[in-house]
Amino acid sequence: MTKYSSNPVDENGIVAWSEDENAIWHDLVIRQLKIVGDRACHEYLEGLKMLNLPIDRVPQLPEINRVLKRETGWQVVPVPALISFDRFFELLANQCFPVATFLRSREEFDYLQEPDFFHEVFGHCAMLTNPQFARFTHTYGKLGYAAPAKQRAYLARLYWFTVEFGLVKENDQLKIYGGGILSSPGETLYALDACQPNREPFELNRVLRTPYRIDIMQPVYFVLEDIESLYTLSQLDLISEIDQAIEAGLYPPLFDAKEALNVE
Binding residues for Fe cation: 119, 124, 164
- Active-site option among 43, 119, 170, 229: 119
Q: How far apart are the first and last CA of the chain?
A: 19
Q: Tell me which of 6, 183, 184, 229 is the catalytic residue.
A: 183
Active site residue 228: no
The annotation places the binding site at 119, 124, 164
Active site residue 264: no
Catalytic one among 164, 170, 184, 234?
164
Burial pattern 128-165, b for ≥16 Cβ within 10 A else e, equals: bbbbbbbbbbbbbbebbbebeeebbebbbbbbbbbbbb
Catalytic-role residue among 6, 43, 124, 187: 124
Q: Is 26 a catalytic residue?
A: no
Q: Which residues are catalytic?
A: 119, 124, 164, 183
